[in-house]
Amino acid sequence: MKKMKIAIINNLYEPLARGGAERVAKTMADSLSRDGEDAIVITTRPYFWRNTGGDFELQKIFRFPSCYFNLSRTPLALRFLWHLYDQFDIITVLRIKKVLLENHVDTVITHNLKGISLFLPLVLRWTGLRHVHFLHDIQLLHPSGLVYKNEELKLDSLWSGLYAAINRNFFRQVDTVIAPSKWIIDQHTERGFFKNARVEAILNPIDEDFFQNSPVIKKSVKFVFLYVGLLEYHKGIDLLLSAFLELTGIEVELWIVGSGSLGKKMNFQEMKNISFLGRKSKGDVVDLMRQADCLVMPSRCYENSPTVIYEAAACGLPVIASDIGGTKELVDYFGGYVFAAGDVVDLSAKMKIVFQDIDSLKSVGKDARLKARNLSSSNYTRTIGALLDRV
Protein backbone atom coordinates (compact mmCIF):
# COMPACT_ATOMS: atom_id res chain seq x y z
CA MET A 1 0.00 0.00 0.00
CA LYS A 2 1.40 3.40 -0.94
CA LYS A 3 2.01 5.89 1.86
CA MET A 4 -1.07 7.96 2.65
CA LYS A 5 -2.06 10.68 5.05
CA ILE A 6 -5.29 9.35 6.54
CA ALA A 7 -7.94 10.93 8.77
CA ILE A 8 -10.30 8.58 10.60
CA ILE A 9 -13.49 10.31 11.70
CA ASN A 10 -16.03 8.86 14.13
CA ASN A 11 -18.42 10.57 16.52
CA LEU A 12 -17.06 8.66 19.55
CA TYR A 13 -13.58 7.46 20.44
CA GLU A 14 -11.64 6.18 23.43
CA PRO A 15 -12.03 6.89 26.32
CA LEU A 16 -15.58 7.95 25.37
CA ALA A 17 -16.40 4.84 23.35
CA ARG A 18 -19.75 3.09 23.72
CA GLY A 19 -20.07 0.39 21.09
CA GLY A 20 -18.78 -1.57 18.14
CA ALA A 21 -18.24 1.29 15.69
CA GLU A 22 -15.79 2.93 18.09
CA ARG A 23 -13.88 -0.32 18.49
CA VAL A 24 -13.60 -0.74 14.73
CA ALA A 25 -12.39 2.85 14.32
CA LYS A 26 -9.87 2.40 17.15
CA THR A 27 -8.57 -0.92 15.82
CA MET A 28 -8.25 0.58 12.34
CA ALA A 29 -6.43 3.71 13.57
CA ASP A 30 -3.96 1.79 15.71
CA SER A 31 -3.31 -0.84 13.07
CA LEU A 32 -2.69 1.75 10.35
CA SER A 33 -0.31 3.62 12.64
CA ARG A 34 1.60 0.46 13.54
CA ASP A 35 1.94 -0.34 9.84
CA GLY A 36 3.60 3.02 9.23
CA GLU A 37 0.69 4.99 7.84
CA ASP A 38 0.33 8.62 8.93
CA ALA A 39 -3.09 8.61 10.63
CA ILE A 40 -4.98 11.20 12.64
CA VAL A 41 -8.33 10.81 14.40
CA ILE A 42 -11.14 13.37 14.47
CA THR A 43 -13.97 12.89 16.96
CA THR A 44 -16.17 14.69 19.50
CA ARG A 45 -16.16 15.41 23.22
CA PRO A 46 -18.66 16.80 25.72
CA TYR A 47 -18.46 20.50 26.49
CA PHE A 48 -16.10 21.25 29.41
CA TRP A 49 -14.63 17.72 29.17
CA ARG A 50 -11.01 17.08 30.10
CA ASN A 51 -9.23 13.86 29.18
CA THR A 52 -7.77 12.56 32.44
CA GLY A 53 -7.51 8.95 31.30
CA GLY A 54 -4.05 9.11 29.76
CA ASP A 55 -2.83 8.47 26.23
CA PHE A 56 -5.07 5.94 24.50
CA GLU A 57 -3.80 6.35 20.96
CA LEU A 58 -0.83 5.93 18.65
CA GLN A 59 -1.93 8.93 16.57
CA LYS A 60 -2.94 12.55 17.00
CA ILE A 61 -6.53 13.15 18.06
CA PHE A 62 -8.66 16.23 17.44
CA ARG A 63 -11.82 16.47 19.54
CA PHE A 64 -14.63 18.93 18.84
CA PRO A 65 -17.34 19.75 21.43
CA SER A 66 -20.78 18.29 20.76
CA CYS A 67 -24.19 18.11 22.45
CA TYR A 68 -24.47 14.51 21.22
CA PHE A 69 -23.45 13.22 24.66
CA ASN A 70 -26.56 14.76 26.29
CA LEU A 71 -29.02 13.69 23.60
CA SER A 72 -30.66 10.86 25.58
CA ARG A 73 -31.50 13.33 28.39
CA THR A 74 -32.87 15.97 26.01
CA PRO A 75 -36.67 16.48 25.77
CA LEU A 76 -38.19 15.09 22.57
CA ALA A 77 -39.02 18.50 21.03
CA LEU A 78 -35.50 19.80 21.60
CA ARG A 79 -34.09 16.52 20.32
CA PHE A 80 -35.86 17.12 17.01
CA LEU A 81 -34.23 20.55 16.76
CA TRP A 82 -30.85 19.02 17.56
CA HIS A 83 -31.19 16.48 14.76
CA LEU A 84 -32.05 19.32 12.38
CA TYR A 85 -29.01 21.29 13.51
CA ASP A 86 -26.79 18.21 13.28
CA GLN A 87 -27.75 17.72 9.64
CA PHE A 88 -26.33 21.10 8.67
CA ASP A 89 -23.71 21.91 11.34
CA ILE A 90 -21.43 23.83 9.00
CA ILE A 91 -19.39 25.31 11.87
CA THR A 92 -18.03 21.94 13.02
CA VAL A 93 -17.56 20.85 9.41
CA LEU A 94 -15.44 23.90 8.60
CA ARG A 95 -13.31 23.27 11.70
CA ILE A 96 -12.75 19.71 10.55
CA LYS A 97 -11.91 20.92 7.04
CA LYS A 98 -9.26 23.21 8.53
CA VAL A 99 -7.68 20.27 10.42
CA LEU A 100 -7.69 18.13 7.26
CA LEU A 101 -5.97 20.81 5.20
CA GLU A 102 -3.43 21.74 7.88
CA ASN A 103 -2.45 18.07 8.26
CA HIS A 104 -2.28 17.54 4.48
CA VAL A 105 -4.76 14.67 4.57
CA ASP A 106 -5.47 12.97 1.24
CA THR A 107 -7.80 10.15 2.38
CA VAL A 108 -10.71 10.53 4.78
CA ILE A 109 -12.30 7.45 6.36
CA THR A 110 -15.61 8.23 8.05
CA HIS A 111 -17.62 6.01 10.36
CA ASN A 112 -20.60 7.28 12.41
CA LEU A 113 -21.16 11.01 11.88
CA LYS A 114 -24.05 11.74 14.23
CA GLY A 115 -22.85 14.56 16.48
CA ILE A 116 -20.22 15.62 13.96
CA SER A 117 -22.59 16.59 11.13
CA LEU A 118 -23.98 14.58 8.26
CA PHE A 119 -23.16 17.61 6.10
CA LEU A 120 -19.47 16.62 6.17
CA PRO A 121 -19.45 14.35 3.07
CA LEU A 122 -20.73 17.24 0.95
CA VAL A 123 -17.79 19.41 2.03
CA LEU A 124 -15.35 16.55 1.44
CA ARG A 125 -16.70 16.35 -2.09
CA TRP A 126 -15.98 20.06 -2.62
CA THR A 127 -12.42 19.76 -1.30
CA GLY A 128 -11.62 16.87 -3.60
CA LEU A 129 -10.37 14.56 -0.83
CA ARG A 130 -10.79 10.84 -1.32
CA HIS A 131 -13.65 9.69 0.92
CA VAL A 132 -14.30 6.16 2.18
CA HIS A 133 -17.37 5.64 4.37
CA PHE A 134 -18.02 2.68 6.70
CA LEU A 135 -21.62 1.72 7.41
CA HIS A 136 -22.23 0.63 11.00
CA ASP A 137 -25.98 1.09 11.34
CA ILE A 138 -29.00 2.73 9.68
CA GLN A 139 -28.47 6.25 11.02
CA LEU A 140 -28.56 7.60 7.44
CA LEU A 141 -32.06 6.17 7.07
CA HIS A 142 -33.52 7.04 10.47
CA PRO A 143 -32.23 9.51 13.11
CA SER A 144 -32.37 6.97 15.93
CA GLY A 145 -30.30 4.39 14.07
CA LEU A 146 -32.60 1.76 15.60
CA VAL A 147 -35.33 -0.37 14.11
CA TYR A 148 -37.04 -3.10 16.11
CA LYS A 149 -38.47 -6.28 14.71
CA ASN A 150 -42.02 -5.66 13.40
CA GLU A 151 -41.30 -1.91 13.07
CA GLU A 152 -39.63 -2.08 9.66
CA LEU A 153 -42.20 0.24 8.05
CA LYS A 154 -40.89 3.19 10.05
CA LEU A 155 -37.96 3.37 7.63
CA ASP A 156 -40.35 4.24 4.81
CA SER A 157 -42.49 6.78 6.63
CA LEU A 158 -42.81 10.30 5.23
CA TRP A 159 -40.47 11.75 7.85
CA SER A 160 -37.86 9.02 7.41
CA GLY A 161 -38.06 9.35 3.64
CA LEU A 162 -37.36 13.09 3.82
CA TYR A 163 -34.50 12.55 6.26
CA ALA A 164 -32.99 9.82 4.06
CA ALA A 165 -33.35 11.95 0.92
CA ILE A 166 -31.23 14.69 2.48
CA ASN A 167 -28.54 12.22 3.49
CA ARG A 168 -28.67 10.51 0.12
CA ASN A 169 -27.68 13.82 -1.48
CA PHE A 170 -24.96 14.47 1.10
CA PHE A 171 -23.37 11.08 0.40
CA ARG A 172 -23.91 11.17 -3.35
CA GLN A 173 -20.23 11.43 -4.29
CA VAL A 174 -18.59 9.15 -1.71
CA ASP A 175 -15.81 7.23 -3.48
CA THR A 176 -16.10 3.93 -1.62
CA VAL A 177 -18.57 2.46 0.87
CA ILE A 178 -17.56 -0.48 3.04
CA ALA A 179 -19.95 -2.51 5.17
CA PRO A 180 -19.62 -5.84 6.97
CA SER A 181 -23.05 -7.20 6.05
CA LYS A 182 -25.13 -7.60 2.92
CA TRP A 183 -28.18 -6.65 4.98
CA ILE A 184 -26.97 -3.12 5.73
CA ILE A 185 -25.85 -2.60 2.12
CA ASP A 186 -29.25 -3.68 0.81
CA GLN A 187 -31.10 -1.38 3.22
CA HIS A 188 -29.29 1.61 1.69
CA THR A 189 -29.04 0.66 -1.98
CA GLU A 190 -32.75 -0.24 -2.09
CA ARG A 191 -33.42 3.35 -1.04
CA GLY A 192 -31.21 4.89 -3.69
CA PHE A 193 -27.96 5.41 -1.74
CA PHE A 194 -24.42 5.19 -3.14
CA LYS A 195 -25.28 4.95 -6.84
CA ASN A 196 -21.92 6.49 -7.78
CA ALA A 197 -19.80 4.68 -5.18
CA ARG A 198 -17.89 1.46 -5.13
CA VAL A 199 -19.62 -0.69 -2.50
CA GLU A 200 -17.69 -3.49 -0.80
CA ALA A 201 -18.77 -6.05 1.82
CA ILE A 202 -15.82 -6.70 4.17
CA LEU A 203 -16.15 -8.20 7.62
CA ASN A 204 -14.92 -6.05 10.51
CA PRO A 205 -11.48 -6.45 12.15
CA ILE A 206 -10.78 -8.22 15.43
CA ASP A 207 -8.23 -6.83 17.86
CA GLU A 208 -5.18 -9.06 18.28
CA ASP A 209 -5.72 -9.20 22.07
CA PHE A 210 -8.64 -11.59 21.57
CA PHE A 211 -6.32 -14.22 20.10
CA GLN A 212 -4.10 -14.66 23.16
CA ASN A 213 -3.28 -18.26 24.04
CA SER A 214 -2.60 -18.14 27.79
CA PRO A 215 -4.05 -21.04 29.81
CA VAL A 216 -7.72 -20.79 30.78
CA ILE A 217 -8.52 -21.06 34.48
CA LYS A 218 -12.27 -21.66 34.63
CA LYS A 219 -13.90 -19.96 37.60
CA SER A 220 -17.10 -21.99 37.58
CA VAL A 221 -17.77 -25.72 37.43
CA LYS A 222 -21.23 -24.94 36.04
CA PHE A 223 -22.12 -24.22 32.41
CA VAL A 224 -21.78 -20.44 31.93
CA PHE A 225 -23.82 -18.22 29.62
CA LEU A 226 -22.25 -14.80 29.09
CA TYR A 227 -23.77 -11.46 28.08
CA VAL A 228 -21.54 -8.54 27.06
CA GLY A 229 -23.16 -5.26 26.05
CA LEU A 230 -25.36 -2.35 26.99
CA LEU A 231 -28.07 -2.98 29.58
CA GLU A 232 -30.77 -1.37 27.47
CA TYR A 233 -34.19 -2.42 26.20
CA HIS A 234 -33.12 -2.62 22.54
CA LYS A 235 -30.33 -5.05 23.47
CA GLY A 236 -32.86 -7.46 25.00
CA ILE A 237 -31.18 -7.98 28.38
CA ASP A 238 -34.59 -8.40 30.00
CA LEU A 239 -35.44 -11.13 27.46
CA LEU A 240 -32.26 -12.94 28.39
CA LEU A 241 -33.06 -12.79 32.09
CA SER A 242 -36.55 -14.18 31.48
CA ALA A 243 -35.20 -16.99 29.30
CA PHE A 244 -32.49 -17.86 31.82
CA LEU A 245 -35.01 -18.10 34.66
CA GLU A 246 -36.86 -20.73 32.59
CA LEU A 247 -33.79 -23.01 32.71
CA THR A 248 -34.89 -25.04 35.70
CA GLY A 249 -33.38 -28.35 36.70
CA ILE A 250 -29.96 -27.77 35.09
CA GLU A 251 -26.74 -26.36 36.57
CA VAL A 252 -26.08 -23.13 34.71
CA GLU A 253 -24.86 -19.60 35.48
CA LEU A 254 -25.33 -16.26 33.73
CA TRP A 255 -22.57 -13.64 33.78
CA ILE A 256 -23.63 -10.13 32.78
CA VAL A 257 -21.04 -7.58 31.66
CA GLY A 258 -22.01 -4.02 30.83
CA SER A 259 -23.85 -0.95 32.03
CA GLY A 260 -26.97 0.99 31.10
CA SER A 261 -30.31 2.31 32.27
CA LEU A 262 -31.82 -1.14 32.93
CA GLY A 263 -28.92 -2.02 35.19
CA LYS A 264 -30.33 0.32 37.82
CA LYS A 265 -33.85 -1.11 37.52
CA MET A 266 -33.03 -4.80 37.90
CA ASN A 267 -31.84 -6.32 41.14
CA PHE A 268 -29.41 -8.87 39.73
CA GLN A 269 -28.05 -9.69 43.17
CA GLU A 270 -31.34 -11.32 44.17
CA MET A 271 -31.42 -13.59 41.09
CA LYS A 272 -30.01 -17.07 41.67
CA ASN A 273 -26.95 -18.06 39.62
CA ILE A 274 -26.75 -14.62 37.99
CA SER A 275 -23.58 -12.53 38.41
CA PHE A 276 -23.68 -8.84 37.50
CA LEU A 277 -20.08 -7.86 36.77
CA GLY A 278 -20.54 -4.26 35.59
CA ARG A 279 -18.31 -2.69 32.94
CA LYS A 280 -15.04 -4.47 32.25
CA SER A 281 -11.82 -3.67 30.45
CA LYS A 282 -11.01 -5.36 27.15
CA GLY A 283 -8.56 -7.65 28.93
CA ASP A 284 -11.18 -8.70 31.46
CA VAL A 285 -13.71 -9.37 28.69
CA VAL A 286 -11.17 -11.61 26.94
CA ASP A 287 -10.70 -13.60 30.16
CA LEU A 288 -14.43 -13.95 30.72
CA MET A 289 -15.09 -15.02 27.14
CA ARG A 290 -12.44 -17.70 27.37
CA GLN A 291 -13.95 -19.05 30.60
CA ALA A 292 -17.60 -18.99 29.53
CA ASP A 293 -19.34 -21.71 27.52
CA CYS A 294 -21.72 -19.69 25.34
CA LEU A 295 -22.33 -16.00 24.55
CA VAL A 296 -25.94 -14.84 24.24
CA MET A 297 -26.84 -11.77 22.19
CA PRO A 298 -30.62 -11.27 22.48
CA SER A 299 -31.13 -7.94 20.63
CA ARG A 300 -34.66 -6.85 19.82
CA CYS A 301 -33.38 -4.47 17.14
CA TYR A 302 -31.77 -4.98 13.76
CA GLU A 303 -27.99 -4.79 14.02
CA ASN A 304 -25.39 -4.57 11.32
CA SER A 305 -22.45 -6.73 12.42
CA PRO A 306 -22.07 -6.81 16.22
CA THR A 307 -18.46 -6.58 17.40
CA VAL A 308 -19.10 -8.82 20.40
CA ILE A 309 -19.76 -11.78 18.06
CA TYR A 310 -16.40 -11.27 16.36
CA GLU A 311 -14.68 -11.12 19.74
CA ALA A 312 -16.43 -14.26 20.95
CA ALA A 313 -15.39 -16.10 17.78
CA ALA A 314 -11.75 -15.09 18.34
CA CYS A 315 -11.97 -16.58 21.84
CA GLY A 316 -13.55 -19.79 20.54
CA LEU A 317 -16.83 -18.94 22.29
CA PRO A 318 -20.02 -20.11 20.51
CA VAL A 319 -22.94 -17.70 20.18
CA ILE A 320 -26.72 -17.68 20.41
CA ALA A 321 -28.14 -14.55 18.75
CA SER A 322 -31.30 -13.02 17.32
CA ASP A 323 -32.13 -14.10 13.77
CA ILE A 324 -32.46 -10.65 12.19
CA GLY A 325 -30.30 -8.15 10.31
CA GLY A 326 -26.60 -8.61 9.80
CA THR A 327 -26.43 -10.57 13.05
CA LYS A 328 -27.83 -13.67 11.36
CA GLU A 329 -25.28 -13.36 8.55
CA LEU A 330 -22.44 -13.23 11.07
CA VAL A 331 -23.69 -16.27 13.01
CA ASP A 332 -24.07 -18.14 9.72
CA TYR A 333 -20.44 -17.28 8.90
CA PHE A 334 -18.85 -18.24 12.21
CA GLY A 335 -21.31 -20.97 13.10
CA GLY A 336 -23.63 -20.80 16.07
CA TYR A 337 -27.30 -20.70 16.95
CA VAL A 338 -30.10 -18.23 16.24
CA PHE A 339 -33.50 -17.74 17.83
CA ALA A 340 -36.57 -15.77 16.81
CA ALA A 341 -35.91 -12.19 17.88
CA GLY A 342 -37.99 -11.19 20.90
CA ASP A 343 -39.17 -14.75 21.57
CA VAL A 344 -38.31 -15.74 25.16
CA VAL A 345 -39.55 -19.32 24.71
CA ASP A 346 -37.37 -19.90 21.63
CA LEU A 347 -34.34 -18.33 23.31
CA SER A 348 -34.76 -20.52 26.38
CA ALA A 349 -35.11 -23.59 24.14
CA LYS A 350 -31.88 -22.78 22.28
CA MET A 351 -30.06 -22.29 25.58
CA LYS A 352 -31.20 -25.76 26.68
CA ILE A 353 -30.04 -27.27 23.38
CA VAL A 354 -26.50 -25.90 23.65
CA PHE A 355 -26.28 -26.98 27.30
CA GLN A 356 -27.25 -30.54 26.38
CA ASP A 357 -24.86 -30.84 23.41
CA ILE A 358 -21.56 -29.61 24.81
CA ASP A 359 -19.45 -31.61 22.31
CA SER A 360 -21.07 -29.93 19.29
CA LEU A 361 -20.73 -26.59 21.07
CA LYS A 362 -16.97 -27.03 21.46
CA SER A 363 -16.65 -27.95 17.78
CA VAL A 364 -18.51 -24.77 16.78
CA GLY A 365 -16.21 -22.67 18.95
CA LYS A 366 -13.08 -24.25 17.47
CA ASP A 367 -14.24 -23.62 13.89
CA ALA A 368 -15.21 -20.03 14.74
CA ARG A 369 -11.75 -19.32 16.14
CA LEU A 370 -10.08 -20.56 12.94
CA LYS A 371 -12.27 -18.29 10.80
CA ALA A 372 -11.69 -15.34 13.13
CA ARG A 373 -7.94 -15.56 12.57
CA ASN A 374 -8.46 -14.31 9.03
CA LEU A 375 -10.01 -11.12 10.46
CA SER A 376 -7.12 -10.07 12.69
CA SER A 377 -6.47 -6.32 12.65
CA SER A 378 -3.21 -6.78 10.69
CA ASN A 379 -4.95 -8.83 7.98
CA TYR A 380 -7.81 -6.33 7.91
CA THR A 381 -5.46 -3.37 7.42
CA ARG A 382 -3.83 -5.09 4.45
CA THR A 383 -7.26 -5.77 2.94
CA ILE A 384 -8.39 -2.15 3.34
CA GLY A 385 -5.02 -0.86 2.11
CA ALA A 386 -5.22 -2.94 -1.04
CA LEU A 387 -8.74 -1.68 -1.64
CA LEU A 388 -7.67 1.97 -1.21
CA ASP A 389 -4.84 1.46 -3.67
CA ARG A 390 -7.43 0.36 -6.25
CA VAL A 391 -9.76 3.33 -5.69
The distance in angstroms from the start CA to the end CA of the chain is 12
Residue 57: predicted pLDDT: 53
Residue 169: predicted pLDDT: 93
- What does DSSP assign to residue 214? P
What pTM, to 2 d.p., does this model score?
0.86
What is the Cα–Cα distance from 113 to 115, expressed in whole angstroms? 6
- 24 touches 126 (CB < 8 A): no
Is the pLDDT at 146 greater than 70? The verdict is yes
| Domains annotated on the chain, with CATH | 5-205+376-390 (3.40.50.2000), 209-373 (3.40.50.2000)
Contacts of 157 (CB under 8 A, 6+ apart): none
Segment 303-320, tens digit of pLDDT: 999 999 999 999 999 999
Segment 71-89, tens digit of pLDDT: 767 777 777 787 777 888 8
Is the pLDDT at 214 greater than 70? The verdict is no
Q: Is the dihedral of CA 61, 36, 203, 172 positive or negative?
A: positive
Q: Of the given ranges (66-70, 214-218, 244-248), which has the lowest mean pLDDT?
A: 214-218
Residue 389 C-beta-side C-alpha neighbours within 13 Å: 9
What is the Cα–Cα distance from 15 to 50, expressed in whole angstroms? 11
Segment 264-287, tens digit of pLDDT: 777 666 678 899 998 898 889 999
